[in-house]
A and B are shown apart, each in its own frame.
Chain A
Amino acid sequence: MMAMERPLTEHIHPGRAPLDIEQYERLGGYQALRKALTCLSPDDVLKEVTDSKLRGRGGAGFPTGQKWRFVPRGDATPKHKYLVVNADEMEPGTFKDRLLLEGNPHQVIEGVIVSAYAIGASRAYLFVRGEYHLATQRLEQAAAEATSRGYIGTTILGSPFSLELHVHGSAGRYICGEETALLTSLEGKRAIPRAKPPFPQASGLWGRPTVVNNVETLCNVPHIVNRGAAWFRGLSSGADAGTKIYGASGRVRRPGAWELPMGTPLRELLEDHAGGMREGYGLRALLPGGASTSFLTPAHLDVAMDFASVEQAGSRLGTGNMIVLDDRTCPVGMLANLEHFFAQESCGWCTPCRDGLPWVERILRAIERGEGRDDDLDILEMHTRFLGPGKTFCAHAPGAMAPLGSGLACFRDEFERHIRDRACPWSGR
């Protein structure tokens, strides 16, 4: 195996201040911007990104080039198009974007400008999670520096390309991470998702063509422009190209985040990078890509962490930031906590999500307290079916059902024991 490349995090050193614009440029920063604006057409950039097989890092894994290609082009299209950066990282157990935002804000800004150039966006919004004060501050600083260098503004680097860039702090709802709810929120309205079609590329922010990309996705773009699609594809040996920032939380020895080749096996992540379980704790199960993915069990440790493999194992890669459940924590309690989060964060728009999730949460709490009833599992099971994809307005409730559905299968005995014994086996431990 070649020496591992870490293009995204190479210059990130937690605990130290991020690179300022001079340091960033000295290390090759904004070269991709120069190259794109002076040597490449927007179509060239689009082609390179398409060829790189970059897939969205927000969780859904949609091919980035393909997403961009849906943006209408030509003179007959609306005057303003938008690139919106989804930096509303609120998935429980996920903190990869924070690393990028705080650790190397210029890399984010450069990714935004180059990507905006590719899709012909005249305005870019960075929609940052409300609690990410430091990230917001650093992004604003970086944007100001880039503006003073002429990388943001009108006729950038003498090209006809102009870009306005705004850093926008979220008011703090999980649903804002859903791209259409994010757009609605950005317009100053309640964060309620939109039905698709129409897709944001056709009718997004204020009804105009819009692309919403995740932070990590865009951070890859300057590197792809600089070093080419083939290089990017070569970063991983698996089906998906590039690197991925994986992470782990829970009772592991070294919780954290690591940039690794896409498709790194779960076992390597857990045992080599996270250092295995803490002393006295065994691995019970894990959510591989955030709270809205299905449980994997120790039987799945050899699964490669790429989109297709994790899906084949019955879950989703999601954000690639896993939450580890140990054998000394009540799984029903964990699910109750998770469903509390999802119930709280429901936007209240569609009935199954708004009124179903609180019911689920209350049943789980009741079971955990030893107040479960025989038909509770049937009701939970009904919810896992009827809060599934296509039945609710957006993916929020289906995401909430992913851990519940798999949890009911993985921990059936524990559920039944709670109900039968009228007590939580873990309580008092």
Chain B
Amino acid sequence: MTTIRVDGRDYQVAPDQNLLQACLAAGLDLPYFCWHPALGSVGACRQCAVKQFSGDDDRSGRLVMACMTPAADGARISIADAEAVAFRRSVIEWLMTNHPHDCPVCPEGGECHLQDMTHMSGHVYRRYRFNKRTHRNQDLGPFLTHEMNRCIACYRCVRFYRDYAGGRDLDVHATHNAVYFGRHTDGTLENEFSGNLAEVCPTGVFTDKTLSAVYVRKWDMEAAPSVCVHCALGCNTIANARAGELRRILNRYNGEVNRYFICDRGRFGHGFVNAASRLRDPLLAHGDSAQVSSAEAALDEFASALRRGEVIGIGSPRASLEANFALRELVGHERFHAGVSDREHRLLALALDILRAAPESIASLREVEACDATLVLGEDVCDTAPRLALALRQAARQKSIAAAAAQRVPAWDDAPVRELEHDNRSALIVATPLPTRLDDIATRSVRAAPDDIARLGFAVAHAIDAHAPAVANLCAEMQDAAARIAQQLTGAARPLIVSGVALGSEALLRALAAVVRALRASGREARIVLALPECNSLGLTLMRGAPLGAALDALCARRARAVVVLENDLFRRADPARVAAALAGAQHVIALDHTLHETVRHARIVLPAASFAESDGTLVNNEGRAQRFFQLILPQDEVTESWRWLDRAAAAASGGAPRWRTLDDVIAALGGAMPELAPIVQAAPGARFRIVNLPVRSAPHRYSGRTALNADRSVHEPITQRNPDAPFSNSMEGYYGPMPGALYPFYRAPAWNSVQALNKFQQEVGGPLVGGDPGVRLIVPHRGASVGAGSGVGATGVTGSRPGEHGGRSNTQPLAAVQNGSRVASEPVGGERGTDPSGCAQDTEASGATGHPAAIPLAFARRDGEWLVIARYPIFGAEELSARAPVMASRIENARVALGAEDAERLGVRAQEYVELEHEGRRHRLEVEIAPQLVCGLAVVTAGLPGLAWMPLPAWMTIRRARDAQAPR
């Protein structure tokens, strides 16, 4: 620790900080603008000036900018010094010469850092008497409003957008006091992290346009800690509501996960909650039409279906653990099916095996940012795990940060560190079929077919560890690349391997495992991240449902009479004809969901489920971190949490009372039934948690109008309805202050009304929250297990697990077993038989001689007249729920198929013309996009977009120029 003396008092602060960080960490108030904890210091705004003294004898001192001055041990400074106070007041006075003072009509008002800092600095009366400069504002697209006259030129926006997030289309234009922060012309901001500008901007230049459409002041909104449901990373969010309506999503700090930023899909994808497609009442099908029914009638019907027996359940990777567990309890664990495609089911099982085999290697996003060499195998994480891509962008800076340290330039001194990027860029190898938005910082981009990328991975493993099997018939170019990549990974202090399941390739996952294993064998600790598809994909996998195909088969074969589908549109998971046939075969289809979709339309009984905003529950992110999301708005109409519906149905069927009163009861039962999930109880405090006998306040204490809100119905003070499942007050009353990290519903401190108040709730700037970062890791090394480098077999397992649980399958699984032991899982299933393109060729020589068997695929070979069609999941549109947010409409691209230039020529099609893809008699008409870097024989479909029928990707398909190829249909 370092000791600094501020205004005569000593403070212990963490070393290697600047004075501003140190003061904030010490709980002192010091105003600032251009400094941002994630962006570092640049010394532009001059707001954080303090007086520094060289020693006890120094009475005069000199003004320094706290953000640009190292907090050296023994530093003596004064914040209260008269000259420092006067200077800071002058800085505000200068900023205000052009600021319009339009706080009453500004959406930032009430949560404006500029307001807070103005107040803190003590500037009151205007002396500037001349005209203010005015700017023209730009239309920046559906997410953000632009009001440049409010700008105080702190440069944070461009530093975040360009330097931190890699965006190109926002810049600073002009000079002197005419500096202009915008695009070169009007247009949608392209970068997928643009929404963070609303939080990064200290005033109202960039504000959330979707909030403005339904505007409420921060102080008038209820808030709840939530978890993003739009990908598997589990970014923490704050959800805000007014009058029972979800109004916006903000970033919620989790020091291990998303930290200060989330992606635009997470921030603006919440529109599905309020969309017209929401289900609010139970529906019962009568013939071809569905009619609104009472909850009792729907439950009666549900109960009678249950009583007849032979009911199977299909869970969901976008429903909470608790909801899935309730279904599993209802139908019995042997009749519980995972609601994902069979291929995804196999891939997720393999992914889980890999994570379990190396639990100490699983990297959180914070750890990703610290990695100094990264190999990305196949997955375009920019689309499937956006916040991970942003973390990789920071990892690429590690080498320049180290180079700066060698010059004694601290990491927070942003400009000189970035200057060193020119010669010092951490290795980032991006091996993907198509270009990615990370290529601009990649030290090597490899464009290849999935199998060839996997082969590259295996070759890297072999180059690292000669005992790892060699890849047969590898071309010289790949051989060289593998050798160089191996060098970079072994030369790194913290190498990271990234892959995922989007390409549908088990070989890629095995290649990742092989590289990790090779690094370990050579005495190096590697980090891994696997991008998974949905917010609870891993949680569902941990619950071990049977494959979806088995459920569909059972229904088709009338082995099951009824099926309960939990928060899932099966038409997105499997061949629509097969799903339709299966549902038609069931006597009862019971669907629970919050949103209308094709499966709901096929259901006989529909129960309106609560969305994330109306319920509490636990999700397990891609690193195995269980995190709790909390109810923001009380369910209205007949909307109810899925687990409650299912519990009530079970009670109705048995004639007894519901088993579970609160979510805590469900969690307890879940932990009892599945001990490896038992630690989720630690993800957040339960409903009975109190601080000084109080629940946590759900709204700022200035919340206004709670009587007026209902005045059209009643002028009486409404009785607050409490959520029984969470320790929140559902009102402005209750406790607010330091608390367990999972509970912060908003950030506010005296004099700090903006999101910057977060400083007051961190143990140190950028460090863990006071009360600890939220979430609990479920996949952790055995306590006391020694993970000897080079042993290759870490004694690993899962917290709370007992050997032999879960169908006799051991939780302790060495990595070697993952590599050869998953043949069972990779057997082709059901309708996909014979079309599986990832037929693995066992390298017999390697597996026999070295004892490290591996499934190395053969090199990709193009076929005449057929293309291997693989999937790409665009960030906007490919995720089911966010695609329903109206604001996303203009951001969702047309469904397309990308073809290499040569292939397009061969087919006689040009960009924007149409082709037909045919697979097993099913045709898909798609617009063509020419992808010059795509290898010959591959085609890439933008999968998952609204209106695009499910395809069994990857698969070999024929492609021909469509009749009428130039006309969209």
Residue in B127, B409, B421 whose beta carbon sits within 8 Å of that of A379 in the complex: B127
Shortest Cβ gap from B441 to chain A (Å)? 16
Is the C-beta of B62 less than 8 angstroms from some C-beta in chain A?
Answer: yes
Q: Mark B130-156, 1 if CB is under 8 A from A, else 0.
A: 100000000000000000000011010
A391 to B179, CA, bound (A): 21
A375 to B128, CA, bound (A): 11
Is the C-beta of B584 less than 8 angstroms from some C-beta in chain A?
Answer: no
Contact A195 B413 (CB under 8 A): yes
Stretch at the interface among A99-107, A225-233, A325-333, A346-354: A346-354
Is the C-beta of A166 less than 8 angstroms from some C-beta in chain B?
Answer: no
Please judge, given known A-B contacts A194-B416, A203-B420, whether A354 and B177 are in contact too, CB under 8 Å.
yes
**Residues of B in contact, count (CB < 8 Å):** 45
Q: Which residues of A contact B130 (CB under 8 A)?
A: 359, 362, 366
A78 to B423, CA, bound (A): 9
A198 to B46, CA, bound (A): 19
Q: Mark A336-351, 1 if CB is under 8 A from B, else 0.
A: 0000000111111111
Stretch at the interface among B86-94, B215-223, B299-307: B86-94
Q: Which residues of B contact A390 (CB under 8 A)?
A: 62-64
Contact B175 A347 (CB under 8 A): yes
Is the C-beta of B97 less than 8 angstroms from some C-beta in chain A?
Answer: yes
Is the C-beta of A399 less than 8 angstroms from some C-beta in chain B?
Answer: no
Residue in B128, B179, B424 whose beta carbon sits within 8 Å of that of A354 in the complex: B179
Q: Which residues of A contact B155 (CB under 8 A)?
A: 349
Contact B43 A195 (CB under 8 A): yes
Q: Which residues of A contact B45 (CB under 8 A)?
A: 350-351
Q: Mark B61-92, 1 if CB is under 8 A from A, else 0.
A: 01110001000000000000000001100110
8 Å CB interface, B320-340 against A: none
Q: Which residues of B contact A92 (CB under 8 A)?
A: none
Shortest Cβ gap from A376 to chain B (Å)? 9
Please judge, given known A-B contacts A351-B45, A351-B46, whether A346 and B177 are in contact too, CB under 8 Å.
yes
Please judge, given known A-B contacts A206-B422, A356-B94, A393-B46, whether A347 and B416 are in contact too, CB under 8 Å.
no
Residue in A194, A354, A375, A382 whose beta carbon sits within 8 Å of that of B176 in the complex: A354
Residue in B90, B176, B403 whose beta carbon sits within 8 Å of that of A352 in the complex: B90
Contact B407 A190 (CB under 8 A): no
Is the C-beta of A334 less than 8 angstroms from some C-beta in chain B?
Answer: no
Is the C-beta of A208 less than 8 angstroms from some C-beta in chain B?
Answer: yes
A215 to B682, CA, bound (A): 69
Please judge, given known A-B contacts A195-B68, A354-B153, A379-B127, whether A359 and B176 are in contact too, CB under 8 Å.
no
Contact A173 B175 (CB under 8 A): yes
Q: Which residues of B contact A354 (CB under 8 A)?
A: 94, 153, 176-177, 179
Residue in A202, A344, A352 whose beta carbon sits within 8 Å of that of B91 in the complex: A352
Contact A198 B416 (CB under 8 A): yes
Contact B177 A393 (CB under 8 A): no
Please judge, given known A-B contacts A195-B413, A379-B127, whether A207 and B97 are in contact too, CB under 8 Å.
no
Contact A348 B175 (CB under 8 A): yes
Please judge, given known A-B contacts A198-B416, A348-B174, whether A206 and B87 are in contact too, CB under 8 Å.
no
Q: Which residues of B contact A344 (CB under 8 A)?
A: 176
Shortest Cβ gap from B656 to chain A (Å)? 70
Please judge, given known A-B contacts A355-B97, A392-B46, whether A382 and B90 are in contact too, CB under 8 Å.
yes
Please judge, given known A-B contacts A345-B176, A355-B97, whether A350 and B416 are in contact too, CB under 8 Å.
no
Contact A393 B176 (CB under 8 A): no
Is the C-beta of A370 less than 8 angstroms from some C-beta in chain B?
Answer: no
Residue in B68, B87, B178 whose beta carbon sits within 8 Å of that of A348 in the complex: B178
- Closest residue on chain A to residue B423 by CB atoms: A207
- Closest residue on chain B to residue A382 by CB atoms: B90
Contact B94 A359 (CB under 8 A): yes
Residue in A206, A346, A359, A393 whose beta carbon sits within 8 Å of that of B97 in the complex: A359
Is the C-beta of B188 less than 8 angstroms from some C-beta in chain A?
Answer: no
Shortest Cβ gap from B20 to chain A (Å)? 14
Is the C-beta of B352 less than 8 angstroms from some C-beta in chain A?
Answer: no
Residue in A352, A356, A375 whose beta carbon sits within 8 Å of that of B127 in the complex: A375
Q: Mark B403-427, 1 if CB is under 8 A from A, else 0.
A: 1000101000101100111111000
A88 to B423, CA, bound (A): 27
A-B pairs with CB below 8 Å: how many? 112
Q: Which residues of B contact A379 (CB under 8 A)?
A: 127
A359 to B423, CA, bound (A): 42
Is the C-beta of A70 less than 8 angstroms from some C-beta in chain B?
Answer: no
Among A207, A357, A366, the one with the most B-chain Cβ atoms within 10 Å of its Cβ is A207
Is the C-beta of A358 less than 8 angstroms from some C-beta in chain B?
Answer: yes
Shortest Cβ gap from B840 to chain A (Å)? 46
Contact A358 B46 (CB under 8 A): no
Is the C-beta of A197 less than 8 angstroms from some C-beta in chain B?
Answer: yes
Is the C-beta of B47 less than 8 angstroms from some C-beta in chain A?
Answer: yes
Among A173, A194, A343, A345, the one with the most B-chain Cβ atoms within 10 Å of its Cβ is A194
Please judge, given known A-B contacts A203-B407, A350-B43, whether A355 and B94 are in contact too, CB under 8 Å.
yes
8 Å CB interface, B158-187 against A: 172, 174-179
Is the C-beta of A132 less than 8 angstroms from some C-beta in chain B?
Answer: no
Please judge, given known A-B contacts A346-B175, A386-B90, whether A203 and B68 are in contact too, CB under 8 Å.
no
Is the C-beta of B474 less than 8 angstroms from some C-beta in chain A?
Answer: no
Q: Which residues of B contact A350 (CB under 8 A)?
A: 43-46
Among B63, B90, B176, the one with the most A-chain Cβ atoms within 10 Å of its Cβ is B176
Please judge, given known A-B contacts A195-B415, A359-B130, whether A351 and B47 are in contact too, CB under 8 Å.
yes
A366 to B131, CA, bound (A): 13
Residue in A197, A206, A348 whose beta carbon sits within 8 Å of that of B423 in the complex: A206
Is the C-beta of B650 less than 8 angstroms from some C-beta in chain A?
Answer: no
Shortest Cβ gap from A271 to chain B (Å)? 39
Q: Which residues of B contact A359 (CB under 8 A)?
A: 94, 97, 128, 130
Q: Mark A189-206, 1 if CB is under 8 A from B, else 0.
A: 010001101100011001
Is the C-beta of B49 less than 8 angstroms from some C-beta in chain A?
Answer: yes
Contact A358 B415 (CB under 8 A): no
- Closest residue on chain A to residue B49 by CB atoms: A391
Shortest Cβ gap from A388 to chain B (Å)? 9
Q: Which residues of A contact B3 (CB under 8 A)?
A: none
Is the C-beta of B2 less than 8 angstroms from some C-beta in chain A?
Answer: no
Shortest Cβ gap from A353 to chain B (Å)? 9
Q: Which residues of B contact A207 (CB under 8 A)?
A: 403, 416, 419-424
Q: Which residues of A contact B407 (CB under 8 A)?
A: 198, 202-203
Is the C-beta of B822 less than 8 angstroms from some C-beta in chain A?
Answer: no
Please judge, given known A-B contacts A351-B45, A359-B130, whether A386 and B176 are in contact too, CB under 8 Å.
no
- Closest residue on chain B to residue A393 by CB atoms: B43
Contact A194 B415 (CB under 8 A): yes
Is the C-beta of B98 less than 8 angstroms from some C-beta in chain A?
Answer: yes
A202 to B86, CA, bound (A): 35
A346 to B416, CA, bound (A): 21
Contact A391 B46 (CB under 8 A): yes
8 Å CB interface, B553-567 against A: none
Shortest Cβ gap from A368 to chain B (Å)? 14
A343 to B94, CA, bound (A): 13
8 Å CB interface, A107-155 against B: none
17 A–B contacts, CB within 8 A, in A order: A195-B413, A197-B416, A203-B420, A208-B423, A348-B175, A348-B177, A350-B45, A351-B153, A354-B177, A355-B94, A355-B95, A355-B98, A382-B90, A386-B86, A390-B63, A391-B87, A393-B43
With A203-B409, A208-B422, A359-B130 given, can you name 4 additional A-B contacts, CB distance below 8 Å? A207-B422, A346-B175, A354-B153, A354-B176
Give A contacts to B, CB under 8 Å: 78, 173, 190, 194-195, 197-198, 202-203, 206-208, 343-352, 354-359, 362, 366, 373, 375, 379, 382, 386, 390-393
Give B contacts to A, CB under 8 Å: 42-47, 49, 62-64, 68, 86-87, 90-91, 94-95, 97-98, 127-130, 152-153, 155, 172, 174-179, 403, 407, 409, 413, 415-416, 419-424
Q: What 5 A-B pairs have minimum CB-CB distances, sorted nearest first?
A: A355-B94, A348-B179, A207-B419, A207-B420, A206-B422
